[in-house]
Structure 1
């Protein structure tokens, strides 16, 4: 029997149901089910509290090899500030002072064939990449967001030293223009956990029509423009509801706006939700709305498609390959006005048969292009090719 190729997954902090967290869990589980690979996960920031990770082998901190870390002044300061939370302190120290872990990390890397990361390319990631270079270890990085100039150092280090995985045409165009010598593979995203639950969601519409958003509430999601559109529609006499699932730093501002303009009967804040219950959010919606100012490959769009929901979205990331004008939704400019957004929402209010028609097309597009088994094969073969290329 051929020897399994060993892959180390370095995960981001698993603190909420975000797309980056779901992707990394899904990628790890995908390789874990393939007989060619042996997967080990280093969740360096948070304890393992995510059910989907319980059966995956974990790379734990080896305290006997970390004496030089735990007795270092930098770690001790972090430990005190954390309220003496040892696990969290190690994670924060690793993220901010990775050089302290070099002896431990290099000993671990020597036992693997590939290191896979999908975390933000901050100071930690170039350090890990340099360690992989020193250990002649293949390195793969999935850019889940957008190529940002502030990470130029990391992307240039990747040229000739690592392999990029990307899933949007705009990312490929940017890569070819700015980093023409980079090694990269095109993959497709899928719904990493619970696809079948999304596909079971019945189609149709309610009265009043329920528009909604599912995800983190931060400034990049530009959610106030949606509330302003709801205000416009209310003033025009339309009956509708808007549901917001999730939480984040913008929630207080959004609630304040809702109260200021008397939108409590139209806007409902549903709160946070666990990973495994994401599909239940979409079961309450008729139309999904996303007004982000930037995205890579928004996973939540795939979830809305699989759930059979029409989509109103801004033109970000891989949206052009997912939402098609007047087929399964409507696409607006990134700087869309509340009025232009309200016009698209109004189409569903005035022609409620469009909810069913566009929802049906959403699910059809999803099954044609993003069904998990086909997309998983693309990902697994990309990883296999990277390891094989490094071996040769």
Structure 2
């Protein structure tokens, strides 16, 4: 694919101004289109990578009879989905396809999970959808897959990438105007006076043309320079670097706006893409609540209904995507909370060690739930208070 074709694809089919030889007729417009593409790509892939990084940190837990078990299914999702990808690479491609195309297809072949690069879906109302021309890498499967044989997700009813692309089309004009205004405010303008125009083809005309096309350009771009002029020629500077209110920070803010639009479209807090460290815990909680948790819930629902089914799920055999490992845990800062979780009997020591990404202790006492003497059953407390009142009356 040539550069022009690539640009047209990224611009949603929008024509790029080129000549028959593939060169831009308007070089400023060409480079503006080129820059617009990368502004969009930077915003989009920063958002997608943020989500993919978060999901890849999750643990895909497998349960049998409601008890967590680590077997072949656990290894498949958490370590090696297929021969050519580890779990992190597999999840990044999975999430990228889902956000790029608003849908994603995963097939299983010979015990391997493969993310499809492209496919043709034929939807039906009362029967299984069909998936044909499923391509993974450079290989296209000759068979047609049924909905019940694959894992298929649709991110949302409306393709938000197309929505943001339409927004970019309008916003890019404003961004281009700001760049031109900045360049204009920093430009150099002047008037060149000459008495007569030399005869075409003469040595004087060649020197005159060289002065206009080369020497003036070198003179204006140099820090310190002298411009030699001939008889009857003079130059007057009329607009050297006006330095108006436009600045590169204004342009940078508009580029950040593109990231903000994209992040909001996919439920990611814009502050994460900016790299802001202030209030990072609150921002991370917002990411988990409004983006990652709903996304992983959708992913695990499809996995459970296809790979386990109703009968197994009701027997409490299922997969769960645990998002607790996304946030970094500073043990010193949460030591008080850990003490409360253990002393209240809510979690065992091994439960806490797993939450902190530490290996469990291979001992029965580490799996027991402990409680301090401060706690007691509510109805038992009421009985004890009743006995105290009886004793006082006697």
Q: Same fold (TM over 0.5)?
A: no
Query: Quick check: which one's helix share is greater?
Result: 2
TM-score of the superposed pair, with normalisation by structure 1:
0.27
